[in-house]
Amino acid sequence: MRRRSLLARARAEVDAYLSLGSNLGDRDQHLRRGISELDAHQRITVAGVSGVYETEPVGGVEQDRYFNLVLHVRTDLPPRELLAACQRVEAVQGRDREHEQRWGPRPLDVDIVLYGDLEVDEDDLTIPHARLHERAFVLVPLMEVHPGGTLPDGTRLSKLVTRLAPIEGVALAHRYEGMPGGGPGRPAGPGSPAAIPAEDWEPPRGAPPGTER
């Protein structure tokens, strides 16, 4: 088990769910590295990894198909700090929010889907994710790592999936082995992210957070 500071241990952890997607370059590599980098943060623990689903892109922009998965994480980071951590991990994998095309391809996309039973409605952060109810490519893997799950208002995730039936364009591609929470191992050694104190954590080539997709 990863060692944490006494202060971090004293904070209350929340179960949160993150959606990861990639359709540029080596999709598997981007997802695996994204998972490892998130789990390397001393205040984020990956507790579960869904299967990897190959999905049709949304938004009307012609582009390659995505690999999508959902992570169950435990964290004591407030929502905005978690969002900043997610967006730094995106930047490590080459995402450039300032110059990318809206709804266009990206090497890695990380969205906060659920954060405990919290509801947030702000310009650049909405929890539960604003389009969760219409995204089978998120709901299907989400139900794997959050079986019997509900939204903060009590709506069952299974009910949202039923409304989207028949589900098309979402196919299980494969599952990862040996990763945190049942799925790649965290990099080892004194220079790895796992050895960096939480207050100093900053993935290489990190960028200031932008806005959530």
**What percent of the chain has pLDDT above 70?**
73
- CB-CB neighbours of 177 under 10 Å: 9
- pLDDT at position 93, please? 84
Residue with the two structure tokens 């702000």: 122
Known catalytic residue at 109:
yes
Tokens 């952060």 correspond to 125
Maximum separation of any 2 CA atoms in the chain, in Å = 49
What's the CATH superfamily of 6-196? 7,8-Dihydro-6-hydroxymethylpterin-pyrophosphokinase HPPK (3.30.70.560)
**Does the pLDDT of residue 194 top 60, yes or no?**
no
- The size of the chain, in residues, is 213
Instruction: Please name the residue that has the structure tokens 């997709």.
Output: 213
Q: Which residue has the higher pLDDT, 161 or 199?
A: 161
What's the mean per-residue pLDDT of the chain? Answer: 80
Specify the residue for token string 């952890």: 13
Choosing from 27, 32, 95, 213, the catalytic residue is: 95
Selected residue with higher pLDDT from 97 and 145: 145
Task: Evaluate if residue 51 carries a pLDDT over 50.
Answer: yes
Q: Which of 32, 33, 106, 213 is catalytic?
A: 106
Based on the residue annotation, tell me whether 106 is a catalytic residue of this protein.
yes
Sign of CA dihedral 159, 157, 151, 156: positive
Which residue in the list 32, 39, 76, 109 is annotated as catalytic? 109
Question: Ranked by mean pLDDT, which of 44-48, 126-130, 191-195, 207-211 comes out on top?
Answer: 44-48
Tell me phi and psi for residue 130, to 5 degrees.
Answer: -60, -30
The active-site residue out of 111, 117, 135, 156 is 111
- Say how far residue 151 (Cα) sits from the centre of its chain: 17
Min mean pLDDT across 76-85, 104-113, 115-124, 192-201 is at 192-201
User: Is residue 180 reached through a cis peptide bond, with omega within 30 degrees of 0 on the bond before it?
Assistant: no
Domain residue limits, the chain: 6-196
DSSP 11-43: SPPEEEEEEEEE-SS-HHHHHHHHHHHHHHSTT
Categorize the per-residue pLDDT at 100 as very low, low, confident or very high, splitting at 50, 70 and 90: low
Q: Where are the alpha helices (DSSP H) in 41-185?
A: 79-92, 136-145, 157-164
Which residues have C-beta within 8 Å of that of residue 21, sequence separation ≥ 6?
A: 55, 66, 67, 68, 69, 106, 108, 109, 137
- pLDDT value of position 208: 30
- Asked if residue 207 has pLDDT above 70, the reply is no
